[in-house]
C-alpha cells in the first residue's frame, strides 16, 4: 500500500460504538469512511448519510467482498466477533475487531491464525492502550519513576436498567459485566504487571446467569491488583498504580483519561486531552501498521490479546460463568 493513499474503512454492526467510531474517523485526514453494513438496509442508508459515507450494504458479507474496502471495523456483539473477523480476513480485509475479541481463548487463537494465514492486519480494538495518558504512564512506570509496582486498583462500573434489556443482559450475546467492562481493569493490570500467578474472583448473578458485578484479585509474585466491574452500580472510575516510591492516578474515567497525576511527596498533574472521543488513536495505530505492512500492533499485539483472553478464562472459571 502506498503511503500517501487514504485508508478506506468499512464498518459492520451500526449500533452505539459504530456511531462513535465513525464520528472519530471523520477527524482523521488519511482515513475515509468508505462503506457501512447493517442487517437492516434503511439503517445502513441513514448511517451512511449521517457520516458522509459513499456506500452502504444490507449485509455484512456484501461489505466483505467490496474490493475497495481496506479495513473492516467489527462493531457487533461479542458472540459474533470471531466468525465475522475470520470471514473478513478470509476475504482479504484487514480487521479491527471490538473487545473482547471472542468469548473463548480458543476462538482468539483461531482468529489470529487466520490473520497470519492471510497476511492481513488484525487487532483487538483496545482503544485505551493507545490514548496519550495510558501510553505515557506506562513509559513512566517502566522507567521506575514510582519504584517497584506493588498494587493496581481499577474499576469500571455503571448502572444499567435490566428492564431495558439489550445485549448487556443477553447471555447469547456474551452479556454481563466481565466480558463487557471487566476486561478493562484486567487490561490495566496486565499491561502494568503482566500475567498473574493466581486469580481470585466472585460475582453476583441475576436469575438468567448474567454476572451483574464481578470483583477480582490478581496475585503476582510481589504485587496485587484489586479490580471490579459492575453493571448494577456506579463507581468513581479512577485507577491507581502504586509503587515503592509513589503512585500514579489516572483521571476518571480512567479508560479514557484526559490526564493523570504522579504523587511523590506532592502531586504533579499532567493534562493529555484525547483527539475526538478517543477512538482516533487506535485508528491511527491501524493506519501505521497497515502502511508498514505489519499484521499486528507492537503496542497491542496478538500475544497481548491471547494473554488477556487467558486471564479472562481464569476469571470465568473462578466465578463459574458458563458463557
Ligand X SMILES: NC(=O)c1ccc[n+]([C@@H]2O[C@H](COP(=O)([O-])OP(=O)(O)OC[C@H]3O[C@@H](n4cnc5c(N)ncnc54)[C@H](OP(=O)(O)O)[C@@H]3O)[C@@H](O)[C@H]2O)c1
Residues that bind ligand X (CB under 6 A): 13-18, 38-40, 43, 75-78, 80, 98-99, 125, 127, 167, 173, 180
Work out how close the CB of 209 gets to ligand X at its nearest, in angstroms, rounded to a whole number. 18
Work out how close the CB of 215 gets to ligand X at its nearest, in angstroms, rounded to a whole number. 20
74 vs 149, which CB is nearer to ligand X? 74
Beta-bridge mates of residue 12: 37, 74
Work out how close the CB of 320 gets to ligand X at its nearest, in angstroms, rounded to a whole number. 22
Work out how close the CB of 187 gets to ligand X at its nearest, in angstroms, rounded to a whole number. 11
Question: On the CB side of 65, how many CA atoms lie within 13 Å of its CA?
Answer: 5
Work out how close the CB of 119 gets to ligand X at its nearest, in angstroms, rounded to a whole number. 26
76 vs 213, which CB is nearer to ligand X? 76
184 vs 260, which CB is nearer to ligand X? 184
Helix H, strand E, coil C: the string for the chain is: CCCCCCEEEEEECCCHHHHHHHHHHCCCCCEEEEEEECCCHHHHHHHHHHCCCCEEECCHHHHHCCCCCCEEEECCCHHHHHHHHHHHHHCCCEEEECCCCCCCHHHHHHHHHHHHHHCCCEEECCHHHHCHHHHHHHHHHHHCCCCCEEEEEEEEECECCHHHCCHHHCHHHCCCHHHHHHHHHHHHHHHHHCCCCEEEEEEEECCCCCEEEEEEEEECCCCEEEEEEECECCCCCCEEEEECCEEEEECCCHHHCCEEEEEECEEEEEECCCCCCCCHHHHHHHHHHHHCCCCCCCCCCHHHHHHHHHHHHHHHHHHCCCC
**What are the Cα distances from residue 102, in Å, to 89, 112, 247?**
15, 11, 33
Find cell 492502550 and name the residue.
129
44 vs 262, which CB is nearer to ligand X? 44
217 vs 284, which CB is nearer to ligand X? 284
Nearest alpha carbon to residue 58 among 79, 75, 37, 80: 37
Work out how close the CB of 249 gets to ligand X at its nearest, in angstroms, rounded to a whole number. 21
63 vs 218, which CB is nearer to ligand X? 63
18 vs 123, which CB is nearer to ligand X? 18
Work out how close the CB of 224 gets to ligand X at its nearest, in angstroms, rounded to a whole number. 27
Work out how close the CB of 139 gets to ligand X at its nearest, in angstroms, rounded to a whole number. 23
167 vs 264, which CB is nearer to ligand X? 167
Report the residue closest to ligand X, judged by CB. 15
* Residue count (the chain): 323
Amino acid at each position: 500500500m502506498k503511503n500517501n493513499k487514504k485508508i478506506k474503512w468499512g464498518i459492520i454492526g451500526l449500533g452505539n460504538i459504530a456511531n462513535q467510531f465513525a464520528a472519530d474517523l471523520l477527524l482523521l485526514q488519511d482515513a475515509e469512511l468508505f462503506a457501512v453494513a447493517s442487517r437492516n438496509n434503511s439503517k445502513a442508508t441513514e448511517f451512511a448519510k449521517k457520516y458522509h459515507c459513499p456506500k452502504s450494504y444490507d449485509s455484512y458479507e456484501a461489505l466483505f467482498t467490496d474490493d475497495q474496502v481496506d479495513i473492516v471495523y467489527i462493531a457487533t456483539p461479542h458472540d459474533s466477533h470471531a466468525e465475522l473477523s475470520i470471514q473478513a480476513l478470509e476475504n482479504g480485509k484487514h480487521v479491527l475487531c471490538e473487545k473482547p475479541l471472542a468469548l473463548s481463548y480458543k476462538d482468539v487463537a483461531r482468529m489470529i491464525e487466520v490473520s497470519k494465514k492471510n497476511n492481513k492486519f488484525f487487532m483487538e480494538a483496545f482503544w485505551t492502550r493507545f490514548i496519550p495518558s495510558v501510553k505515557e504512564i506506562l513509559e513512566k512506570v517502566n522507567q521506575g519513576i514510582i519504584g517497584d509496582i506493588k498494587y493496581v486498583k481499577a474499576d469500571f462500573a455503571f448502572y444499567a436498567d435490566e428492564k431495558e434489556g439489550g445485549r448487556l443482559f443477553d447471555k447469547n450475546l456474551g452479556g454481563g459485566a466481565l466480558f463487557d467492562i471487566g476486561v478493562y481493569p484486567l487490561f490495566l493490570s496486565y499491561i502494568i504487571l503482566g500475567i498473574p500467578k493466581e486469580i481470585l474472583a466472585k460475582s453476583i448473578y441475576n436469575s438468567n446467569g448474567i454476572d451483574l458485578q464481578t470483583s477480582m484479585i490478581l496475585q503476582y509474585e510481589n504485587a496485587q491488583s484489586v479490580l471490579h466491574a459492575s453493571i448494577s452500580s456506579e463507581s468513581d472510575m479512577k485507577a491507581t498504580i502504586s509503587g515503592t516510591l509513589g503512585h500514579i492516578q489516572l483521571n476518571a474515567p480512567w479508560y479514557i483519561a484526559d490526564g493523570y497525576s504522579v504523587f511523590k511527596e506532592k502531586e504533579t498533574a499532567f493534562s493529555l486531552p484525547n483527539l475526538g472521543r478517543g477512538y482516533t488513536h487506535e485508528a491511527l495505530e491501524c493506519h501505521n501498521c497497515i502502511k508498514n505492512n505489519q499484521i499486528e500492533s507492537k503496542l497491542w499485539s496478538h500475544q497481548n490479546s491471547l494473554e488477556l483472553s487467558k486471564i479472562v478464562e481464569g476469571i470465568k472459571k473462578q466465578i463459574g460463568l458458563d458463557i
